[in-house]
A and B are shown apart, each in its own frame.
Chain A
Amino acid sequence: MNILQTIPLNHYIMLSALLFSIGAMGVLLRRNAIILLMCVELMLNAVNLLFAAFSVHHADGGGQVMVIFIMTVAAAEVAVGLAIIVMMFRKAGTTDINLFDTLKW
């Protein structure tokens, strides 16, 4: 039995769009830099889910390989991002992004 004969692809698209929008809302809404990174992770996961759904639907494994690459990039991003946040915390004693506006025009 194929899963996509019971669940149409549209459902996966809607779910991914919803999760992506929630992540974007978090990025705009919060001020803690760590929570911002977590919301970016949520957005990446929404895209990953859609990649996997399309891969199964089109019988092409390339989409799932792409998901593995995205996971690797996400891991690298989190490692470097958290290092930057820890350094910011050491310099300023906070992770509030509104206080780090030196580069803002």
Chain B
Amino acid sequence: MTLTVFYLLSALSVFSGLMVVLSRKAVHSVLYLVFCFFTIAGHYLMLNAQFLAAVHVIVYAGAIMVLFLFVIMMLNLNLAAEAQKTPWIKISAVILSGLMLLVLVASVKGAEELSAAQPQNDIGLVKNIGNILFDKYLLPFELISLLLLSAMVGAVLMGRKEPQPQNE
């Protein structure tokens, strides 16, 4: 039963990931990516990582993808047909990524699986994550707020219109 759900979710995420790459219109890509993120949130739920699933849906599907959709609609990219790469580059791109998949899978294939010390199911609950985050990883947590602040300043600085030079 659990395995069936896992296979179903995996097939859906791989399919929507492929459609992100292959669909012609940018808006369709965004919608498929949102769907892919929801299936990944389903994977988190199956791992019993409830906090991650909630944050993933809120941050990715709620904030980041809306930002993408916003920019695509603002730039009106759906009207213009996207220029395509030459067939040779396309074929070599597919072959290259296939080779990378082959190397990744082959390197893991013969690996010896470390047995978990004592698998715990409650590690993804908010309480446990919070305990770890504010105890062991407090400094990185504070630093990441600085990163967000600088990213915000940078985005605002780049996004604003340049002031027109005054003609005298």
A residues in contact (CB < 8 Å) with B: 1-11, 13-15, 17-26, 28-32, 34-35, 37-39, 41-42, 45, 48-49, 52-53, 55-62, 64-65, 67-69, 71-80, 82-87, 89, 94-96, 98
Instruction: Write 11 A-B pairs (CB below 8 A) sorted by A numbering.
Output: A17-B108, A21-B101, A26-B21, A28-B97, A29-B90, A31-B84, A32-B82, A39-B21, A49-B43, A69-B144, A83-B158
Residue A65 contacts which of B80, B85, B133 (CB distance < 8 angstroms)? B133
Judged by a CB distance under 8 angstroms, whether B79 is at the interface is no
Q: Which residues of A contact B46 (CB under 8 A)?
A: 3, 7
Total number of B residues with any Cβ neighbor in A under 8 Å: 85
Residue A22 contacts which of B18, B43, B133 (CB distance < 8 angstroms)? B18
- Contact across chains for A59 and B119 when beta carbons are under 8 A apart: yes
Judged by a CB distance under 8 angstroms, whether B8 is at the interface is no
Q: Name A13's closest neighbour in chain B (CB-CB).
A: B108
Number of A-B contacts (CB under 8 A): 232
Which residues of chain B from 87 to 125 have a CB within 8 Å of any chain A CB?
A: 89-90, 92-94, 96-98, 100-101, 104-105, 108, 113-114, 116-121, 123-124
Q: Name B19's closest neighbour in chain A (CB-CB).
A: A22
- Contact across chains for B21 and A25 when beta carbons are under 8 A apart: yes
- Contact across chains for B83 and A18 when beta carbons are under 8 A apart: no
- Contact across chains for B3 and A6 when beta carbons are under 8 A apart: yes
Residue B123 contacts which of A31, A32, A64, A75 (CB distance < 8 angstroms)? A64
Nearest chain A CB to B47 CB, angstrom units: 5
- Contact across chains for B121 and A3 when beta carbons are under 8 A apart: yes
A9 to B159 Cα, complex, angstroms:
43
